[in-house]
Amino acid sequence: MRILLIHSDYLNYNVKNKTPVAEDIEEAKKEGSFDDSLVVFTAVEKDDENNPEGIVKNLVSEVKKTNDQVKAENIVLYPYAHLSSSLSSPKVAVQILKDAEEALLAEDFNVKRVPFGWYKAFEISCKGHPLSELSRTITADSEEEEKVERKPSKWQILEGDKITQIEDFKFDNRAFKQLVDYELGQGASDEGEPPHVKLMREKEICDYEPASDVGNLRWYPKGKLIRDLLSDYVYDLTVSRGAMPVETPIFYDLDNQAIYEHAYKFGERQYRTDTKKKLMLRFAACFGAFRLMSDSYLTWKNFPAKIFELTRYSFRYEKKGEVVGLKRLRAFTMPDCHSFCCDVPSSLEEFSAQTDMCMQTGKDLNLDFEVIFRATQDFFEENEQWMYEIARKFEKPILLEILPERHHYWVCKIDLANIDALGRPIENPTVQIDVESGKRFDITYLGEDGEQHNPTILHTSPTGSIERVLCAMLEKTAIEINERAPMLPTWVSPIQARILTVGESHVDFANELYEKINASNIRVDIDDRDESVGKKIRNAAKEWIPYIFVIGDKEVESGKFQVTVRETGEKVEMTVDELIAEINDKCEGKPFRRLPLPKDISRRINFQ
């Protein structure tokens, strides 16, 4: 079979006259008009009669693969005998096209089949991007041949400059073993709900919004505070290291060739708009950053130049069955830093510094990372010692993937992942060396030699998406539930200290303490409800509050309190000044935001 695939703005046809082999058609099929279509002109050949089922299977596979790239709204199967001089019988040709139509319909594609054996007038408008005109020869075994072409990656364990084959490596870290097994397709399945989904609801952090698309969340006051604090943290982290904050649009035109090519290379599912213009919601800040820099005058003296954007939101049209909690969303908050360097050698030093930054987030967020280091074979051979230097930073074994050839825009990347309670990776920080986008987006700089050059670009997310950071934090509490009381780091806890009153007579003193603690940039509240002290203590524990203390007659008189410290489980006698000093010490250098709730619990809304 010979096919010609045209990604078109529109296709219009109307039948004129029958040929002797024309199929019978209804009146409605005598004309048709289809916008944004992948038109598949087909000629079924004599050899196809030997295995029509194989032809149908591989035709459908090729159409699906192409449409995954161009994302057309409609697929139109158009019989076009002029593509071949060795045609099959009309009966076989019609049956193959009908079977292909049914197979595509069964997979929920919008499919139309133009009548076979009629003379037709047609008008088509080709979109004109790099993938808008493709010709293919379909055979019964073409799919198998294609599979053989891509060579598999080589997976090994890297410790500093020591490489060990996986089968020879002795694992003593369960999380690392889970990561390796997952990457090799031998680990935990993606089925089952991770514990953080229940926790995000119980703690009034966020929940699914049923009136929106799947993978879009509504955030309650506590959750918004946590997300904002994490956003502030990564903003400060990147800007303090020389990044320049920008803000760019969330919509991009897929008729722009550079944007279309990058979207295709990135490989993520695109969130498209139902408008006349072919717009895509961004899946990262790349498009805006690259467009901005392509319009800028740059010289070698500007480099490395770092552009940072906290995308609220980025969008990826994940499959409905894959969307779960905070781990995989269709709308998420992504800290995206792009560093523009003169060339690959000069990018290596910046890559090293940004790896350090990613590692720092693990310390600041109290998260344990497992590491995957990926590179093409050519890059590894040229930069082997540098890769060993990066690996030594982690002071533990990491997973090494060597790709025999480059399939992506990057030649080297490092991914840091946490492991959830079900043994599956949560991919968070990443650094990538992009060798394509500088040229694709026509970003140029004036070199020391007086010539114009395209820069090498580092893609870095120091934390990964904000939602996944919180996901990893909550999953860690589930993993460690038998070792320590679950809690978030004090600086990111929505309520850092709680005052529990014994009775109404103690409320005035509690308010005095509140004013002093609140003035010291500490999120504090008062449980002023008419409940027993025991119940108030239990409620505070359920909310994972780091510091709680009771105010009764004794405390009013002495000015000292028995403070329950959640992290240690200890009860420590403190004055209000000592409490303030301890909390401020734990939060030193971290961002702060005010309590986003009424200070008196009796006035609060129950969001669940």
Per-residue pLDDT, 145: 42
pTM (global) more than 0.85 = no
61, 201: one domain:
no
Task: List all residues 6 or more positions away from 150 whose beta carbon is below 8 Å from its beta carbon.
Answer: 407
Q: Are residues 578 and 468 in the same domain?
A: no
Q: Is the residue at 546 inside a domain?
A: yes
Angle, helix 384-392 to helix 344-365, in steps of 10 degrees: 10
Helices (H) and strands (E) in the chain, counts: 17, 28
In this structure, what token pair is assigned to residue 560?
């000292």
Residue 96 CB-density burial (10 A; 0-12 exposed, 13-18 middle, 19+ buried): buried
Same domain (yes/no): 505, 471: no
Residue 284 identity: A
In terms of Cβ atoms closer than 10 Å to its own Cβ (0-12, 13-18, 19+), residue 299 is exposed
Residue ranges making up the domain that contains 242: 175-249+284-308+334-475
Sign of CA dihedral 559, 560, 564, 566: positive
Q: Are 226 and 492 in contact (CB under 8 A)?
A: yes
Burial (0-12, 13-18, 19+ Cβ within 10 Å), 472? buried
Q: Cis bond leading into 313, ω under 30°? A: yes
CA nearest to 112, candidates 7, 9, 11:
11
Edge-first strand order for the sheet with 524-527 is: 524-527, 497-501, 547-551, 560-565, 570-575
In a domain, residue 444? The reply is yes
Task: Please check whether residue 513 lies inside any domain of the structure.
Answer: yes
Whose structure tokens read 């020591």? 162
Domain CATH number, residue 356: 3.30.930.10
Residue 457 within a domain: yes
> Could you tell me if 247 and 237 are in contact, meaning their C-beta atoms sit under 8 angstroms apart?
no
Residues 525 and 551 sit within 8 Å (Cβ to Cβ)? no
Residues 395 and 510 in one domain: no
Residue 327 resides in a domain: no
User: Is residue 192 domain-shared with residue 84, that is, in the same domain?
Assistant: no
What tokens were used for 137? 């020869």
Domain boundary, last residue among 419, 449, 475: 475
- Of 426, 450, 475, which residue sits at a domain end? 475
Residues 342 and 205 in one domain: yes
Residues in the chain, total:
608
586 in Cβ contact with 536 (< 8 Å): no
Query: Per 3-state DSSP, what percentage of the chain is helix, strand, and coil (rounded to 5)?
Result: 35, 30, 35
Of 308, 7, 272, residue with least CA distance to 128: 7
**Distance (Å, rounded) from C-alpha 533 to C-alpha 541?**
12
Query: What DSSP element (H or E) covers 429?
Result: strand 425-434
Amino acid at residue number 470 = L
Residue 457 near residue 509 (C-beta atoms within 8 A): no
> 99 vs 34, 286, 522, 587, CA distance in Å?
21, 41, 67, 65
Q: Is residue 214 located within the same domain as residue 293? A: yes
Helices 344-365, 221-239: crossing angle, 10 deg rounding? 140
Indicate whether 407 belongs to any domain: yes
Residues 418 and 296 reside in one and the same domain:
yes
* Angstrom distance (rounded) from CA 59 to CA 78: 13
Residue 72, both tokens: 């057309």
Residue 254 in domain: no
Same domain, 427 and 517: no
Q: Is residue 512 part of a domain?
A: yes
Q: CATH number for the domain including 525? A: 3.40.50.800
Number of domains in the chain: 3
The two structure tokens encoding residue 311: 């995308």
584 with 551, same domain? yes
Residue where a domain terminates, one of 149, 167, 187:
149
Contact 559, 544 (CB under 8 A): no
Please check whether residues 213 and 360 belong to one and the same domain. Answer: yes
Residue 321, token pair as written in the block: 């069955």
Same domain, 520 and 406: no
Closest CA to 415 of 369, 482, 478: 369
CATH number of residue 90's parent domain? 3.50.80.10
Mean pLDDT, 10 residues at a time, over the chain (608 residues)?
Answer: 94 91 88 94 89 91 92 93 87 90 86 92 90 88 51 94 96 96 84 92 96 95 98 97 97 84 69 80 93 97 97 89 92 97 97 98 96 98 97 97 92 97 95 95 97 97 97 96 94 98 94 97 96 96 97 94 96 96 97 97 92
